[in-house]
């Protein structure tokens, strides 16, 4: 189960990077999605994210970190849309890029919130030491 969570989260992070690059450079290179370098960047990002998420000790911690990682990658979509608008000029505003950036922002906030709540619930359930009482 841990492998599945890390592979899915890593794949989503890699897909977000492919989408980020395609959105940012679309005005300059309209067919950038089919460039091999973009796919290599997506695959490297997916493998790095999966390997970093694999370091978590418990499945619940891994799920929380995975949601946060996907959320933070999704939060970069409005920045890519802004780069796209600046690079293409105000006359070349793509409505789909704007809608994608708003959706990415909302999805990112939701995933970061869910991941943070999941991690906080895990840390609250762990035992704490009471320094006020003598240790028996």
Q: In the structure, what pLDDT confidence band is assigned to residue 86 with cuts at 50, 70 and 90?
A: confident
> CA 115 to CA 110: how far, in whole Å?
9
Report the pLDDT averaged over residues 67-91. 85
Q: What is the pLDDT of residue 107?
A: 92
Q: What is the pLDDT of residue 106?
A: 94
pLDDT in tens, 23-47: 888 777 777 777 888 889 889 999 9
Does residue 59 surpass a pLDDT of 80? yes
Residue 111 CB neighbours (<10 A): 21
Q: What pTM was estimated for this model as a whole?
A: 0.74
Residue 74 CB neighbours (<10 A): 25
Q: In the structure, what pLDDT confidence band is assigned to residue 95 with cuts at 50, 70 and 90?
A: confident
CB 110 within 8 A of CB 71: yes
Does residue 109 surpass a pLDDT of 90? yes
Q: Dihedrals φ, ψ of 134, to 5°?
A: -65, 140
């Amino acid at each position: 189960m841990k492998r599945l969570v890390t592979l899915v989260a890593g794949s989503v992070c890699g897909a977000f990077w492919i989408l980020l690059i395609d959105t940012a450079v679309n005005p300059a290179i309209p067919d950038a999605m089919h460039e091999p370098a973009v796919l290599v960047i997506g695959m490297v990002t997916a493998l790095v994210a999966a390997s970093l998420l694999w370091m978590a000790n418990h499945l619940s911690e891994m799920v929380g970190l995975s949601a946060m990682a996907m959320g933070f990658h999704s939060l970069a979509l409005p920045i890519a849309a802004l780069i796209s608008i600046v690079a293409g000029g105000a006359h070349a505003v793509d409505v789909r890029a704007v809608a994608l950036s708003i959706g990415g922002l909302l999805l990112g906030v939701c995933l970061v919130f869910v991941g943070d709540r999941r991690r906080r619930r895990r840390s609250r359930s762990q035992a704490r030491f009471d320094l006020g009482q003598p240790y028996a």
